[in-house]
Structure 1
Amino acid sequence: MSDPVRTLHRTQSVCPVCLRRIDAAYVREGETVVFRKTCPQHGSFSVPVLRRTDGLPAFEDWQRPKTPSYPARPLTEAAQGCPFDCGLCPGHAQHTCTALLEVTLRCDMACPVCYAAAGTADVPPDPSPDVLARQLDRLREVSPGCNVQLSGGEPTRRDDLPDIIRAVRARGFGLVQVNSNGLRLGREASYAVRLREAGLDSVYLQWDGPDDAACAPLRGTLPGESLMARKADAVRHCAAAGLGVVLVATLMPEANLSRLGDLLRQALRLGPAVRGLHLQPLSRFGRYPGELLTAPRLSLFDVLAALCAQAPELVRPEHVHPPGCEHSLCSFSAVYARETGPDGTPGLRLLADGASSCCGPTSPTRPAAAPLPVPLEAAEGARRSRQFVAAHWAGAGRMPVPDAAADDFSRFLARAGVERRFTLSCMAFQDALDLDVERVRGCCIHVMRPDGRMVPFCLHNLTAVDGSMLYPDRLRPAPSVPETGGGPSHA
């Protein structure tokens, strides 16, 4: 007799066809957990969240409860309800850890996978320096001290990128990071030095696999040269300039999932300038292969299972923990110390205090009878996340040493050895098929739009089956901040 179907948690989502808000639920079907929803007009949809995999944490135990912390200065009103009022509205339950500033939609690649659908012939004009300055001023008003990532498109297509970096640094934000494919950084040895001198801390470097074959389905090829050799040049130039590097891999089941172990070992071989490996299961918005409703999908737990199977000497399920900032189903992470084996092979040793300091005490393998962790104040989780990322992903010399009055967490970050640490993390972005409004409300990664609003990353990029965007006109400035959020009407 098969196991009964059991509803674990009810929430709301959107229809992937019409983007209306609809009811949704996490449902256990035997040993599989699925996210299921039904639109009265377009029918039912489901996506797996946790497949049966021995050794992984149970869905019910993968929790990090948080007490909501609402915006001190909301920029929109709650009119139609989540996810249609972003700005952020008064009901958003988490502060900004990282703000993304899209400085261009131009790109020198035309990747088969691109969340921004960048690099086409009809991209809008770049935001002017004045528009960017107004965005940064608004961001400083509502989220002072947050980390800033300059994104695109490809930011290095802008010749004034050093000036933009200086503008961010002058406003007192935390980490200043550029999201890049690495081509210009690899081709121009002095370019990383110029960005470092302007105030850049870190490069969020697109790196989808250990070789060209693993990357080609997501990025295509470079005529006459090796894409990965060029990216390796970028790492070397960033290291020489004193920039921290985070390798960022978008994962497709049919492309590079089977190469995760090789990718992690390669990241370690590239040396201490590579501060970590960040993994992102492919979310279907922007430009992507296949169909939104039918293409193979990866969940957070699929990625963890693949890592543990392919690199058991480095990663085990009990190493990772749910986030202390965003919703528990959005990410996992672990902090390690770098080690070198007797044969010179790089290895990892788990730093247990990395989990307790960054996200508070928690255990994904909590016994069934044990109580849930005490809820963490969301604002405190955001503060710790900002500090942790700024300390571990920046280049050498950027981390200030706190004075005697600093808290234990700050002192933990300031201890010697940041360059000997390595962060392993995974973030599962949401598309129109698996969007959960509770996860949206807990989002801490917000895109600063030219009209002055701040929109969670997944909603900023969200597209329906036909390609229509929930929040269109991503680079179009507006004369003032709207009083209420936009979006489709809902039933």
Structure 2
Amino acid sequence: MGRKRDYVYHSYTRTMCPECMELIDGKIVYDDSGAYILRRCPVHGESLELLEEDANWHIHKGDYDKPGTASTCQTKVDKGCPYDCGLCPSHDQHTCIGLMEITRRCDMSCPTCFAEAGKGRDLDIETIGRMMDFYMESEDGKAEILQISGGEPTMHPEILKVIAMAKGKGFKYVMLNTNGLRLADDEEFAKALGTFKGGFEVYLQFDGLDDGIYRKMRGRPMLDVKKRAIANLGRYGVPTTLVCTVDKGINDSGIGQLLLYGMEEKYVRGVNFQPVAYFGRYSGERNRMTLSGVLKRIEEQTGGLLKMSDFMPLPCDVERVALTYLFKENGSFIPITRGKDMSQYRNLIGNTFVFTLEDTIKTLKDEDATFGLSDCCDLLVDIKRHIPKGFIFKSRENKMKFVDENTFRISVSSFVDAWNFDMKSIQKDCVHVITPDLRRMPFSAFNMVHRGRYDGYYL
């Protein structure tokens, strides 16, 4: 495509030169090979970057878009996005997921680490508590998902106290992001996590089912570690989501196999795919994997079990997140979205990453519960069909067990770096880093331009 004008000009955007990091004008264009960002820097010339492998996905994801949720601001507009984080008044979405890095220490040194973690220190428990309170207050007391991350958060000497504190402060969901090393070798730790019943799960780094993948992406064989971690978590009923960083040419051919493996594991609740973003420690050749590229591979590699059309852009961030839900039927998982135009329900779906469907089922008390959807909705009919008779009379523990064993969630979260930067994507980002100086910064913006200013808190 390049300098030829054999593309369709889709829309204007404000983008960034990846060489000098200056904001410049750009075009979103597409042809048969995908959707791209085309820009010209006065200093570094014209450049082209893949935005989506499937142009049709990019064109139609806006069908799911809706107004964002208002949120408090901590900064003002000065230098322009992404330099004024955060949040500044230009940001168009509240915090769906608040991510807190409680340590920079890590027991690995992954070549793909966005945080360049390894050395550093832990945040003290008082600072962590203030960060949690700030996050809750900034969301008017209704903060939803807290991800406890790092570094490797299980290395924090007070990690169990941190999780208990988060649960006590009223977050709807608490997630622990981990590489699984401690979980594999410390069964007592997994047992302790099993006491946090309801609204807690482990986000387990899991890149594939071949140690060759781990050698390239994590610097060492890890498959046995991952499987032992999953076994220990399952032993104590801890819901787990597998989190796969997708690097084109390394593990994208194993996406389907990974999904099928996850569906067979009793307490694996879902898989989240994250295409590699080009910030942090990553120094390999840029070979862009996109959200729609992941969806295409899912369809190609699952033998008809899943299709691209089973996925919907998440209304709170249509630019960068897609997901689907599956119910188990006669031993097989069936996408609840299949054959439905989910865009017609976008105004009935909150600006949230909270797993409302699952949570509603767990707390179901009324046979006529609508799951937040209209009674005339054919989606509602399908959902009710999967709920067993007498379900409302079961204990909460048994409801949770049913959900853990009979539903499955697949999501794709892509990130913005200096090469694929477009203004709408960054301003709709709903995953925000909660910083020690009490700001909220879009995850991608934090890792592109702001991370260095916080090194002092961890050194």
1:87-236 → structure 2 map (5 Å cutoff) = 87-119=86-118, 123-143=119-139, 144-197=142-195, 201-222=200-221, 227-236=222-231
Distance 1:58 1:76, change over 3 A: closer
1:372-403: per-residue Cα shift (whole Å, max 9, x none)? Answer: x58749xx6324x32438739xxxxx944467
Distance 1:136 1:156, change over 3 A: same
> Which position in structure 2 is the counterpart of 1:259?
254
> Which position in structure 1 is the counterpart of 2:245?
250
Q: What SS class does the counterpart of residue 202 from structure 1 fall into?
A: strand
Q: Give the aligned CA root-mean-square deviation in angstroms.
A: 2.8
Q: 2: CA distance between counterparts of 1:114 and 1:202? A: 22
Match of 2:122, as an amino acid? Answer: D
> Which position in structure 1 is the counterpart of 2:310?
319
1:317-353: per-residue Cα shift (whole Å, max 9, x none)? Answer: 2111111111x23021111113456xxxxx4211138
Contact 2:68 2:351 in 1 (8 A): no
Aligned equivalent of 2:268, options 274, 290, 306:
274
Identity of matched residues, %: 29
> Which position in structure 2 is the counterpart of 1:428?
414
Match of 2:324, as an amino acid? Answer: A
Distance 1:337 1:375, change over 3 A: closer
Aligned equivalent of 1:24, options 13, 23, 26:
26
Shift of 1:101: 0.6
Contact 1:206 1:248 in 2 (8 A): yes
Q: 2: CA distance between counterparts of 1:374 and 1:21? A: 36
Distance 1:408 1:254, change over 3 A: closer
Aligned equivalent of 1:349, options 306, 311, 334:
334
Aligned equivalent of 2:15, options 13, 16, 23:
13
Contact 1:334 1:424 in 2 (8 A): yes
Name stretches of at least 5 consecutive residues in structure 1 with no aligned partner.
342-346, 364-372, 393-397, 463-468, 479-491
Q: 2: CA distance between counterparts of 1:217 and 1:437? A: 32
> Which position in structure 2 is the counterpart of 1:386?
354
Q: 1: CA distance between counterparts of 2:370 and 2:143? A: 17
> Which position in structure 1 is the counterpart of 2:371?
408
1:198-256: per-residue Cα shift (whole Å, max 9, x none)? Answer: 5671000000001212222111215xxxx211211111111222211000110111211
Match of 2:322, as an amino acid? Answer: F
Distance 1:457 1:389, change over 3 A: farther
Equivalences, count: 428
Aligned equivalent of 1:460, options 446, 449, 452:
446
The answer to whether the aligner puts 1:66 opposite 2:66 as a matched pair is: yes
Aligned equivalent of 1:335, options 325, 342, 345:
325
The answer to whether the aligner puts 1:284 opposite 2:278 as a matched pair is: yes
Aligned equivalent of 1:297, options 276, 288, 298:
288
Q: 2: CA distance between counterparts of 1:92 and 1:459? A: 12
> Which position in structure 1 is the counterpart of 2:46?
44
Contact 2:358 2:403 in 1 (8 A): no
Match of 1:214, as an amino acid? Answer: I
Aligned equivalent of 1:473, options 450, 453, 456:
453
> Which position in structure 2 is the counterpart of 1:78?
77
**TM-score, normalised to structure 1's length?**
0.80
More helix by share: 2
1:5-25: per-residue Cα shift (whole Å, max 9, x none)? Answer: 221011112221222211122
Q: 2: CA distance between counterparts of 1:339 and 1:404? A: 20
Shift of 1:455: 0.2
Of residues 30-39 and 97-106 in structure 1, the stretch that sits farther from structure 2 once superposed is 30-39
Contact 1:149 1:179 in 2 (8 A): yes
1:62-109: per-residue Cα shift (whole Å, max 9, x none)? Answer: 3222113331x2111122221111111122111111100101111111
**TM-score, normalised to structure 2's length?**
0.86
Shift of 1:58: 4.8
Of residues 261-270 and 195-204 in structure 1, the stretch that sits farther from structure 2 once superposed is 195-204
Contact 1:253 1:297 in 2 (8 A): yes
Q: 1: CA distance between counterparts of 2:347 and 2:92? A: 13
Contact 2:86 2:440 in 1 (8 A): yes
Q: 2: CA distance between counterparts of 1:471 and 1:439? A: 19
Match of 1:261, as an amino acid? Answer: G
Distance 1:40 1:471, change over 3 A: farther
Aligned equivalent of 1:33, options 25, 32, 35:
35
Q: 2: CA distance between counterparts of 1:160 and 1:332? A: 34
1:414-453: per-residue Cα shift (whole Å, max 9, x none)? Answer: 9654220111111111111001121111111111000100
Question: Which protein, 1 or 2, shows the higher relative CO under an 8 Å CA cutoff with sep ≥ 6?
Answer: 1
